[in-house]
């Protein structure tokens, strides 16, 4: 199925946003030497939350990255995964240069900044990397750097300065982000309103904003809102 096919029936097939809060709490990182790993993550300046041992067969260490809502666990008797098998553990940072400088100052080997260019025959993680920040540096999500812990577990720094509309949960959405999404919704609704029979604008808005909140692009969200209006509200736009 093509990517556009997978998202073409957003209003009819995509489940609504869950009603039970599920915050990602912990990611377990497999390590071979618990004390060595503890020293490394302490060196990053991360908060040490726990170091619990029960006998010689079980030990759990928890760290939380600065300001993160998600922590990491490592220890003894936690996972059968091979040490160093965790990869693409992504840390969002607001300023890539400052983040790299901080880590390098703590003795961590951090890669140079890079972005990705997916090309035929060059689709792998390493071979798609291009030196330097994303050419449109103002864009969030496209500029990276990487480092590894002593076991080889791979971490990515991803520069995120502005989150895309729909990428914030309601309780966390600030006024500016909500205003931006409403403005975008109004612009796309204008094209629908120009050719549609009289209708309640809030129905189209709700369908559009829901689709954006579940990951649809603006064009996909507009199509989903149009389908909702036709199928549920019986507001049908005649073919041009």
Same structural domain, 92 and 142 = yes
Same structural domain, 139 and 169 = no
- Looking at 112, 136, 162, the residue that finishes a domain is 162
Domain count, the chain: 3
Is the residue at 239 inside a domain? no
pLDDT band for position 43 (50/70/90)? Answer: very high
Same structural domain, 169 and 220 = yes
Model pLDDT for residues 120-129, shown as the tens digit of each residue? 766 667 778 8
Polymer length in residues for the chain: 240
pLDDT attached to residue 92? 92
For residues 155 and 240, give the distance between their C-alpha atoms in angstroms, rounded to a whole number: 50
Work out the end-to-end distance of the chain between its first and last CA atoms, rounded to an integer number of angstroms: 28
Is the residue at 14 inside a domain? no
Same structural domain, 98 and 153 = yes
Model pLDDT for residues 129-182, shown as the tens digit of each residue? 889 999 877 778 889 999 999 999 999 999 988 777 666 665 555 677 788 889
Token duo for residue 238? 């005649």
3-state secondary structure 138-202: CCCCCCEEEEECCCCCEEEEEECCCCCCCCCCHHHCCHHHHHHHHHHHHHHHHHHHCCCCCCCHH
pLDDT beyond 60 at 7: no
Same structural domain, 59 and 37 = yes
Provide the whole-model pTM: 0.62
- Looking at 162, 195, 218, the residue that finishes a domain is 162
Give the structural domain span for 193: 165-231
Tell me how crowded residue 120 is: count the other CB atoms within 10 A of its CB.
Answer: 5
Model pLDDT for residues 74-93, shown as the tens digit of each residue? 999 999 999 999 999 999 99
For residues 223 and 108, give the distance between their C-alpha atoms in angstroms, rounded to a whole number: 47
Same structural domain, 67 and 93 = no
pLDDT beyond 50 at 72: yes
Q: How many C-alpha atoms does 93 have within 13 Å on its Cβ side? A: 23
- Looking at 63, 86, 109, the residue that finishes a domain is 86
CATH number of domain containing 50: 3.10.180.10
């Amino acid at each position: 199925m093509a990517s556009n096919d997978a998202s073409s029936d957003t209003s009819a097939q995509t489940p609504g946003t869950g009603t039970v809060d599920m915050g990602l709490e912990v990611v377990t990182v497999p390590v071979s030497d618990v004390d060595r790993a503890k020293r490394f993550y302490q060196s990053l300046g991360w908060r040490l939350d726990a170091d619990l041992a029960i006998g010689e067969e079980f030990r759990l260490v928890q760290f939380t990255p600065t300001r993160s809502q998600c922590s990491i666990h490592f220890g003894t008797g936690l996972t059968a995964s091979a040490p160093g098998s965790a990869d693409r553990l992504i840390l969002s940072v607001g300023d890539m240069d400052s983040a790299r400088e901080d880590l390098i100052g703590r003795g961590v080997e951090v890669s140079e900044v890079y972005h990705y260019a997916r090309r035929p025959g060059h689709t792998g993680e390493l071979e798609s990397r291009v030196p330097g920040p994303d050419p449109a540096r103002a864009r969030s999500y496209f500029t990276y750097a990487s480092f590894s812990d002593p076991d080889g577990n791979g971490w990515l720094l991803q520069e995120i300065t502005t989150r895309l509309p729909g990428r914030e949960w309601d309780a966390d959405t600030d006024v500016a982000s909500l205003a931006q999404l409403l403005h975008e919704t109004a612009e796309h609704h204008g094209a629908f309103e120009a050719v549609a029979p009289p209708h309640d604008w809030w129905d189209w808005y709700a369908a559009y904003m829901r689709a954006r909140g579940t990951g649809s692009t603006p064009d996909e969200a507009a199509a989903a809102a149009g389908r909702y209006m036709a199928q549920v509200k019986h507001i049908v736009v005649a073919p041009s």
